[in-house]
Structure 1
Amino acid sequence: MVKQERAARTRESLVLAAAEVFAAEGFAAASIAAISERAGVTSGAVQFHFDGKPALAHAVEARAARALRRIAEAEGEPDRAGNPLRALVDATYALQELVAADVVVRAGFALGADAAHQSQVDLRGQCRLWAEQLMTTAGRAGLLAEGVAPQDAARVVVGFTAGLKGLGAVEPAWTPRQALARIWTVVLPGIAPHGTATTGQETD
């Protein structure tokens, strides 16, 4: 039991170290040596727990995917959400906070867009699917503006949420939460009739 616990801790430290290196350097430039040094173990220990760098990257993505599922569970399933648009707005804030706080999630998204890595998990696709489900539920409830397609609205939401990191680099005076609130202020009236959801600005 002690050996199993120690092995689990080592694997966890390796996943975290790998995420930090992947996020900083990208998949191609990341090395097993750099990951092992950051985790405080030997390169041999890395190879014992993971079958090479791709396996480490897949472990990072799997953990990031679990974190995204927890957001979906916390914000409510699409068919049970009292106001699916409110749930979607809340989910974008939760996702932004998670990306800022969790390097594994940041690395997971980066790996998914890294041409040097063959990703096994489509994190952006998961976000888009959940957003589409919420938008579809909103449409059935009569909450969407006339002519708004749930799939198109979901792509817009996922697109601007994913782009907040770049916007922060261009507009450093904006915090990610402020930027998200301002974007929702512009986008939400085009998606839904006035008053069916709020932007989250009231909590700033």
Structure 2
Amino acid sequence: MVKQVRAARTRQALIVAAAESFADEGYAQASLPAISKRAGVSAGALHFHFASKDELAREVERAAVNSVAELAERCRFTAATSLQSLIHATTSLLLAVTRDPVVRAGFQLSGDPSRKNGAEMVRWWQQQVRDLVVEARDAGELADDVSAEAATMVIVAATVGFEALGTVDRDYLSAERMSEFWTFILPRLAASPASVPASAANGALAEGHLE
């Protein structure tokens, strides 16, 4: 039992260290020796848990997806409407990028041109957004002339763009920028002002959804 606990801690330390390295240096520049040193474990321990850098990167992506999935589920549980859930989820996601190296690395690995496969995080986020948009449409929350495909495209492109811009200017990952984005886009998406509570964009942080 003690060995299992120790192994689980070592594996988690390696995932976090790898995420920090991938986020700071990119996939191509991050090295397994540097990751093992960062995690405070031996190279042998790293290879015991992960056979290659690609396997480690895929595990970081999976961990990032799991973390964001939990976050999105909390937003679904607390939101009054599907659109409100979408607003809270996008804002919470981008704030998580600033706080959680695993989430940050998950996004960066998805768009890293040096990897032959990946993009798990972006694909998952695209499906999550589409599901919420379709729910909003079916509930009558979307304007009649707004298609689910177009709304999904705009929201995914915007959030991925905010994440990319945030690597240069962290202000793009703030709740204020997300509030400005949703204040701009909601009048085009929503069937009526009543479709989304007035506090949906500006009150998400105050309501505790972004902690």
Could you tell me how far 1:53 is from its partner in structure 2?
0.7
Verify: 1:52 aligned to 2:52, yes or no: yes
Residue of structure 2 in register with 1:95 after alignment: 93
Residue of structure 2 in register with 1:131 after alignment: 129
TM-score, length-normalised on structure 1?
0.89
Closer/same/farther in 2, CA of residues 188 and 81 from structure 1, 3 Å limit: same
Which stretch of structure 1 is more off in the superposition, 154-163 or 84-93? 154-163
The 2-side partners of 1:134 and 1:173 are apart by 26
SS at match of 2:194: coil
The 2-side partners of 1:15 and 1:174 are apart by 26
CA contact (8 A) 2:75 2:88 kept: yes
The 2-side partners of 1:15 and 1:75 are apart by 26
Which stretch of structure 1 is more off in the superposition, 42-51 or 192-201? 192-201
The 2-side partners of 1:111 and 1:171 are apart by 19
CA contact (8 A) 1:65 1:121 kept: no
TM-score, length-normalised on structure 2?
0.86
**What one-letter code is carried by the residue in structure 2 that aligns with 1:160?**
A
The 2-side partners of 1:177 and 1:2 are apart by 42
**What one-letter code is carried by the residue in structure 2 that aligns with 1:186?**
F
The 2-side partners of 1:31 and 1:83 are apart by 45
CA-to-aligned-CA distance 1:76-107 (integer Å, 9 cap, x gap): 27xx9641111111111211221111100110
Could you tell me how far 1:129 is from its partner in structure 2?
1.2
Could you tell me how far 1:72 is from its partner in structure 2?
2.6
Residue of structure 2 in register with 1:146 after alignment: 144
Residue of structure 1 in register with 2:195 after alignment: 196
Residue correspondence of structure 1 range 29-68 to structure 2 within 5 A: 29-68=29-68
* Structure 1: segments with no counterpart, 5+ residues: none
The 1-side partners of 2:131 and 2:168 are apart by 32
CA-to-aligned-CA distance 1:116-143 (integer Å, 9 cap, x gap): 2244562112112121111112112221
Residue of structure 1 in register with 2:110 after alignment: 112
Residue of structure 1 in register with 2:182 after alignment: 184
SS at match of 1:27: coil
The 2-side partners of 1:23 and 1:174 are apart by 17
Could you tell me how far 1:2 is from its partner in structure 2?
0.9
**What one-letter code is carried by the residue in structure 2 that aligns with 1:38?**
R
Residue of structure 2 in register with 1:75 after alignment: 75
Residue of structure 2 in register with 1:2 after alignment: 2
The 2-side partners of 1:115 and 1:175 are apart by 22
**What one-letter code is carried by the residue in structure 2 that aligns with 1:127?**
W
Identity of aligned residues (%): 39
The 1-side partners of 2:49 and 2:74 are apart by 32
The 2-side partners of 1:173 and 1:97 are apart by 10
Could you tell me how far 1:175 is from its partner in structure 2?
6.1
Closer/same/farther in 2, CA of residues 138 and 109 from structure 1, 3 Å limit: same
The 2-side partners of 1:138 and 1:84 are apart by 5
The 1-side partners of 2:110 and 2:164 are apart by 17
CA-to-aligned-CA distance 1:45-74 (integer Å, 9 cap, x gap): 211211011111111011011112102321
RMSD: 2.2
